[in-house]
Structures are given as structure tokens and as C-alpha cells.
Amino acid sequence: MSPRELIEAAREIQTRAHVPYSNYRVGAALETEDGEVFVGCNIENANYSNSLHAEEVAVAEAVKEGHREFSRLAVSSDRRDGVTPCGMCRQTLSEFCEPDLVVLCDEGESIRKYTLGELLPDTITEEMLR
């Protein structure tokens, strides 16, 4: 799948977002090492801390299906503003993804590319908790 196709998958799932409070639709498409793609959208709750972020939903779908190796993540908002995963999502991604995970961010006509390690250096790891 090309980077543009992965962004398109993230754009498509935005239509299913539940965002009555922020009106800010986000979609994520997470590609496994073997090429399967899992998507997620944000699902808000009146108690904001119970809201689910698109990236978390995509990770949960993939992990639920037994995947643990990922190559790329595309993130898109309905505003095409180059949204990146928030800090909480970056930490969730780091639990299941390597620092070299490619993160593609939708800027409309262009795609900004990062690695997870660039977005979240010195992440909290399992080793740190021992």
C-alpha cells in the first residue's frame, strides 16, 4: 500500500468518528509488517478522559487480531492540518511499535513523515518499570 493509500484509509474511517463535543474527526490506519491494515477513529465521551483516540482504536483492533509487528501509521483529521498522535497515543504506540515505525501525517496535498522515535524520544519502557 502506498503512503497516499494509507492516508486515504485514515480519511475514510473519519466518517465513523463520534465527535459531538470537539467536532474534530480523526482517523488512523495502522499497517502491520505483513501488509494488513487496521483502522480507527476517535470516539468521544462527555467525560473527555473516557474518549478513545483513533490511533488507540487502530492499535486495539490489530492487537485483538494477534498482530504485534507494525510498519507504518497514517493519521488524518478532517481539517487536513498535519495532526500527529498526541502524547498518550505516542506512548500507546511505543508499547507495541518500534521507534522506527513510520508515522504519516495528512497535510492535504502533502504528507509529513516522522518516526515514532522522533515523536517520542526516551519513551517509558517495560525495562524502566523493573
- Residue 48: phi, psi to the nearest 5? -50, -35
User: Looking at 44, 55, 65, 126, which residue is catalytic?
Assistant: 55
What does the block give as the cell for 99?
521507534
Please give the angle made by the CA atoms of 53, 68 and 75, to the nearest 5 degrees.
Answer: 35
Residue 127 annotated as catalytic: no
Report whether 51 contacts 11 (CB < 8 A). no
CA distances from residue 64 to 55, 67, 97 in whole angstroms, order as listed:
14, 7, 15
The CA–CA distances, whole Å, from 10 to 83, 127, 129 equal: 12, 32, 33
Instruction: Compute the Cα dihedral for 29, 30, 32, 38 and give only its sign.
Output: negative
Query: Which residue numbers are catalytic?
Result: 55
